[in-house]
Amino acid sequence: MENRKEFLTQKFRTLFKSDPELWSRAPGRVDLMGSHTDYNLGYVMTMAIDRDTWIAARPRADGKVRLHSLDMDSGAEFSLDDLAKAEEIPWTNYVRGIAKVCLDAGFDLRGFDGLVHSTVPFSAGLSSSAALEMATATMFQAVSGFKLDPVQMALLGQKAENQFVGVNSGILDQYSSAMGQAGKTVLLDCRALTSELVDISPALQVVICDTKTKRNLLGSEYDDRRKQCEQGVAILQTADPAIASLRDVPFDLFNRMKDQMPPLVQKRCQFILEENQRVLDLAQPLAQNDGEKLKAIFAASYRGARDLFEIGAPTMQAMVRAMSTAPGVVASRQAGAGFGGCMVSLVDPAQVERFSASVTAEYKTLTGLDAEIYAVQASDGASMMQV
């Protein structure tokens, strides 16, 4: 951490001719179970990870924000009085969007010079955008002198992404980044916006396997899946008007009504209902290291994502094949929204190095691509850091 701070301080001095005064951070996240359940107001088992986004900043008195990202090697300057979307430097829209929703909520904002650095891989399904949003929201609070609770902050982040950036995401990413806790996974109820902390057995190591095939939710099939789920809800409401989301649908009602649905809609709804149940079924075996149950739950999630929700990709198929035969593996599945990006495994901690070497070699043989494999720890949520 100190080396990272020293490195960013030197870069800040070069760019802004002074030292940073404030530091914020927010983590990425990996979902252990619950693909596409968040916008269906269901459940997700999520974990903030020790890959995070930092902002080093110095307050300004002129209502302007000057930004530079070391990862993107680009920067921007804009006024808080003129928060137009920037098509040419799209990463800044997450910062602009947070500013816009905070202003709309009635908060007075102060500008700052900010240097952004992230260890969360981009477009990999680990919520790099939410990490930037939550680090930005945390910084604006410190610079401007107001306070949000973590749920408020997550909701503002989701609003910024939906209404300003233009991605119709659920609450999962921002909530995970805001509410994570070291050493714990988080069982999130996406309708109530409440969560329970769930232990993860010390005999399990979470390992992320990046296929190195990027995906972008803008212009992808993400919105199509959401619309198909909404179509299913509309059909199910003809039998029970009280149904507000797929979260409310019992299996017996779905089985009675499924033949009235278009085939694709039926498949999407079936996956969400089953995935929600898998989230609830995961807590006990995750804490107790019940390998057989973990393997079965993870495998069912992956099959459903591939065959029912159809969010797979050839590289994901190759990666799950490589993971499932590697030494020390307990369970493996997709992470994030699918269509490429990352996969996640639970691994025997003593076998992580052998697991990583095996997956890397097998994936290279199958695809010709170099995977990136890294073990992650559960992390605390967004916060200011002491210098």
Question: Is residue 210 annotated as part of the catalytic site, yes or no?
Answer: no
User: In Å, what is the CA distance from 212 to each residue of 28, 132, 367?
Assistant: 17, 21, 11
The one catalytic residue in 19, 173, 259, 348 is 173
Q: Which parts of the chain register pLDDT below 50?
A: 218
Residue 217: per-residue pLDDT: 55
Residue 2: per-residue pLDDT: 79
Residue 371: per-residue pLDDT: 97
Global pTM? 0.93
Q: In the structure encoding, which two tokens stand for residue 40, read together?
A: 């269906």
Residue 219: per-residue pLDDT: 55
Helix (H) or strand (E) holding 48: strand 43-59
Buried b (16+ CB within 10 A) or exposed e, 166-196: ebbbbbbbbbbbbbbeeebbbbbebbeeebe
**Tokens 């994502």 belong to residue:** 305
- Helix (H/G/I), strand (E/B), else coil: 96: helix
CB atoms within 10 A of CB 287: 14
- Contact indicator for 360, 371 with CB cutoff of 8 Å: yes
Rounded to 5 degrees, what angle do the CA atoms 340, 162, 71 make?
Answer: 55
CB atoms within 10 A of CB 149: 10
DSSP string, 216-263: -STTSSHHHHHHHHHHHHHHHHTT-TT--SGGG--HHHHHHHGGGS-H
Residue 218: per-residue pLDDT: 44
